[in-house]
Amino acid sequence: MLAYGLPADATDEYIKIGESTTIESLKRFCRVVVEVFAERYLRSPNANEVARLLHIGEQRGFPGMLGSLDCMHWKWKNCPTAWVGQYAGHSGSQTIILEAVTDYDLWIWHAFFGLPGSNNDINVLELHQLILCVS
């Protein structure tokens, strides 16, 4: 379900387990990921980390900058045939867009995957401006 974005009932034909078992397995997997990684990795930066990042940004001539925002096309070699048109990137091959915000130590504070065309630079910047205005 996570790898291909399939609904739970579609996994029956592919991996031979029923819908309810698939949903329960996915829930357990997600719970374990949160339990194992939440404290260290699945969190917002704390006050000390924000202060450190702002200081580094200011020293480098970018006051107020916490990190770097970037978008890239990630080639999807095994894209299902039925989805080829939806995931056709600018290069003509199937891609998924990865949007990431990282700090100077390459700590990933935000990551999002989307369809080609959904995360161009203008859309990403407008979304982040909207989020800043709302919060």
User: How much is the pLDDT for 32?
Assistant: 93
Domain locations along the chain: 66-134
| Gap between the Cα atoms of 13 and 9, Å rounded | 8
| Gap between the Cα atoms of 73 and 45, Å rounded | 27
User: How much is the pLDDT for 135?
Assistant: 44
DSSP secondary structure letter of residue 70: E
Quickly count: other Cβ atoms within 10 Å of residue 110's Cβ: 13
> pLDDT in tens for each of the 135 residues of the chain?
777 667 788 877 777 888 888 889 989 998 998 899 888 877 778 889 889 988 988 998 988 887 877 777 778 888 888 888 888 877 778 888 877 888 877 787 777 777 776 656 666 566 555 555 544
Q: Taking the complete model, does pTM exceed 0.85, yes or no?
A: no
